[in-house]
Structure 1
Amino acid sequence: MLFVALTAPLMGAIADMSGIRKRMMMLYTAVCVTGVALFATLDQGDVLLGFTLAVIANIGFEGALVFYNAYLPDIAPPAKQGFVSGLGFGVGYLGSLVGLGVALPLAFANNFEAIWLAVAGMFAVFSLPTFLILPEGPARMSVRQAAVEGFTGFRRIVGEVLADRQLRRFLLAFFFYIDGVLTVILFAGPFAQTTMGFTATETIILFAVVQVSALVGALGLARPTDVWGPKRVISLSLLLWIAIAAVTFVIHTKAAFFAVAVTAGIGLGAIQAASRSFMAALTPEGKEAEMFGFYAFCGKSSSILGPFVFGTISSLTGGNQRLSIFSLIAFFVIGLLLLQRVEDPRRKAVEAPAP
């Protein structure tokens, strides 16, 4: 996460200037596929090697997402970016269910090596249409020149982001609210098992159902994102997340937590798709990978603060995970308040009177 957060803006700038966005996405995807496939070679006790492969695979996956997200302004007009973003996340969650369906029979058969090979193969195969269909961006300079410009002009790039008031405000709001969202998702499994008493099988079922509800959230609010504007959809989603954290603090039954988790899945799919759509609307033409690099920077670097707060409160309160979840409301409230200072350019364009 830290590596991707620190390098994403720079790699994005180099890709934009040299026109190698697709090749960078292919490179990072290959790194992820290789890292996942090599898990099949691990033996019991290979903790350090397993950790290293996990880091490599995650760098590849998160790095590829930067360039994948940056294609949104290219493949969808502004009036349909909310729908396309939601469709992308929806199909992604469907892929998670397919992956789970492939992995579970192999896990029950204790054929764990085959799981890694199957997942790596699926990732590679389903990535091919993207590599074959999507165009490469125009090159303004050679890769070497772009690398030099990227390294030497990094301060300028940061300055451009900070100088864009709307983009700066959105990224700051995104930093806080996505941290709260990702922290809840990260600790949902441990919370279900340690606090709510879910068995391993029940947790797997919960995970699958949440994937379905996230798919529903991403697709169900795809059209409204274009009609209402992503700002309104994100704001409504954050109110939902505040309610989720508050209700989680007081529930005590598995059925109640199951219902809350399903609701959280809807909020997850909606806020992810709308956030990407909002970022696309704020991104200057020709700087898509560069700006989505900063988007990734804010998303990945924020993932340190939330778990730290969760863990600290849990430690200070003797393992009270309910209070830890409840404390994350602060992230949602801060993000919601900061978001209100951002103008929705797409909504503004829709409401503007015709000449």
Structure 2
Amino acid sequence: MDLMQVQDKSRYLAPGVSRREVWSWAMFDFANSGYTTVVITAIFNAYFVAVVANNEAWGTFAWTAALAVSYALIMVTAPVIGAYADAYAMKKPLLLISTIGCVLFTALLYFVGPGDLMLAVVLIVLSNFFFSSGTNLISAFLPELAHGEALGKVSGWGWSFGYVGGLISLGLSLAYVTWAQGQGRPAEQFVPGAMLITAGLFAISSIPTFLFLKERALPQPHPAERHVAREAFGRLLVTFHHVRDFRDLVRFLACIVFYQAGIQTVITLAAIYAQQVMGFDTGDTMFLVLVVNITASIGAFAFGHIQDRIGHIPTIALTLGGWIVMVLLAWMAVTRPVFWLAANVAGLCLGASQSAGRALIGYLSPDARRAEFFGLWGLAVNLSSILGPITYGIVSWISGGDHRLAMLITGSYFIIGLMILMSIDIQRGRQAALNISPPGERLTGNR
């Protein structure tokens, strides 16, 4: 899908923002989506359980625990990194560091073979840490690129384009895996090659972002004797002190923790569920995820326009209803067609809910503290990334591998998220963001 073919896009963009710059911003979504698609969702997670952990009963729990460690690290660092990026206008340099880190540690997954549990865990923790840090930073550019009433559209363009990148990365990996399987090679001989493909595509596709995306933020006033870490923590403490001024943002962050717990469970364990419950092999699973990426791209693009038309809350509520339907279909599925239907419902809801959530955070964030508030968004998402998959892993372990029960329990997170969502007042939250003082002044807001 060509992002630049939609008519009159310029009226959605902030003054001074070119179409090329929006494209370069969206190219980062294109670039990093291969990591989620290939490493976390389609290939390496199932490889970890089946080959690295030798299909032991604790394999799924070990995978979710490794991810939980990485998300815990991100939770601790994301708001501080965001506060530092705002104070010193350093979003772009930090984004470059996170990209190099993710590409490097993804490429090193090439060396993980049967029984290399500790190596696999360390590399997954590091690669996922850098990936998630980069996701928070690139998202903080969104409010600089689009008008407030068009955040849903522009976020949707980026997320939709991102799924195209995931499709290409997975498609190249699928072609390689199909060829390798045709040569009679086992998984330990072809899965590592897919890691190199993913890392290489990430590195190449992110180049336009660093060439054309501008750092519009300006460094803010600092103490004469500056202590970078202390100042970043200080800004964060001020935000927490005034958190009552942003009660609707806080409610949405709580909502995110729960509904993203369900989403992150599906992303993290989709391939494992497909293979352990539905009997899919590696090729079947990769083809399934490839098709789901198409529906996810359509969902992100379409719902981005719907969001700006019907509103943020109704759009997210609609997607959460879809997620609940998806969980019930997956839980009941005994035939592949029903499971395929569930997977594609998940795809539509995945693209829509991810894009809509990012746009709403941008709508509720003060101009002077965008990276910091997107860091808080990252904190919420990563807390959910611990809560959901760990719950699934524990349930499947305790129940002796009952993945259907674990999937059914996952649905409760979407229900809780929907209940919290209904308590949010969008206009009050937007007004709180607009009442923030100019950069460098003390944080103030509605009482």
- TM-score w.r.t. length of structure 1: 0.91
**Aligned residue runs from structure 1 range 145-156, under 5 A:** 145-156=227-238
Identity of aligned residues (%): 34
Identify which of 304, 308, 318 aligns with 2:386. 304
Give the distance between the partners of 1:50 and 1:348, measured in 2 at CA: 43
Partner residue of 2:326?
244
Counterpart of 2:109?
Answer: 39
Aligned to 1:313: 395
SS of 2:206's partner is helix
The one-letter code of the counterpart of 2:389 is P
- 1:323 CA drift (Å): 2.1
How does 1:133-144 map onto structure 2 within 5 Å? 133-136=212-215, 137-141=217-221, 144=226
Give the partner amino acid of 1:129: P
2: CA distance, partners of 1:286 / 1:126 = 29
* 1:50-199 pair list within 5 angstroms: 50-107=120-177, 108-109=179-180, 110=189, 114-136=193-215, 137-141=217-221, 144-199=226-281
SS at match of 1:227: helix
Q: Is the 8 A contact 1:93 1:212 kept in 2?
A: yes
Structure 1 residues not aligned, in runs of 5+: 350-355
For the residue of structure 1 that corresponds to 2:219, the secondary structure is coil
Q: For the structure 1 residues 197 and 118, does the alpha-carbon distance in structure 2 shift closer, same or farther, using more than 3 Å as the test?
A: closer
1:322 is the counterpart of 2:322:
no
- 8 Å contact 2:248–2:429 — kept in the other structure? no
Alpha-carbon distance between aligned partners in 1 of 2:390 and 2:250, rounded to the nearest angstrom: 24
Deviations 1:267-306 (A, max 9, x none): 1111001011111100011111100000000000122222
What amino acid is aligned across from residue 166 of structure 1 in structure 2? D
Distance 1:27 1:53 in 2: 16
Greater displacement, 166-175 / 178-187: 178-187
CA distance, structure 2, for counterparts of residue 259 and residue 3 of structure 1: 36
Q: Is the 8 A contact 1:90 1:216 kept in 2?
A: yes
The verdict on how the C-alpha distance between 1:14 and 1:49 changes in structure 2, with shifts beyond 3 A counting, is: same
Amino acid at match of 2:269: F
Structure 1 residue 63: Cα displacement: 0.7
In the TM superposition, residue 160 of structure 1 has moved relative to its aligned partner by 3.1
CA contact (8 A) 1:249 1:325 kept: yes
1:285 aligns with 2:355: no
Aligned length: 349
Distance in 2, Cα, partners of 1:180 & 1:321:
14
* Higher mean displacement: 116-125 or 338-347: 338-347
Deviation per CA, 1:155-209, whole angstroms, max 9, x where unpaired? 2232233431111111011111111121123222222222222233221211111
1:343 is displaced (CA, Å) by 1.8
Q: Larger deviation: 340-349 or 75-84?
A: 340-349
Contact 1:17–1:146 (CA under 8 A) maintained in structure 2:
no
State the 1:70 CA deviation: 0.5
1:39 is matched by which residue type in structure 2? L
- In the alignment, structure 2 segments of 5+ residues that lack a partner are 1-70, 181-188, 432-447
Aligned to 1:48: 118
Instruction: Determine if the alignment matches structure 1 residue 18 to structure 2 residue 97.
Output: no
Measured after TM superposition, the shift of residue 4 of structure 1 is 1.0
Instruction: Name the residue aligned to 1:272.
Output: 354
Shift of 1:316: 4.2
Question: Cα–Cα, structure 1 residues 314 and 121, in superposed 2: closer, same or farther, change >3 Å?
Answer: closer
- Give the residue type in structure 2 aligned to 1:314: S
Q: Which amino acid aligns with 1:161?
A: V
RMSD across aligned C-alpha pairs, in angstroms? 2.3
| Local SS of the residue matching 1:286 | helix
In structure 1, distance between residues paired with 2:249 and 2:138: 20
Change (3 A) 1:187 1:35: closer
Are the counterparts in 1 of residues 75 and 382 from structure 2 also a CA contact under 8 Å? yes
Out of 275, 296, 304, the position equivalent to 1:222 is 304
Change (3 A) 1:54 1:249: closer
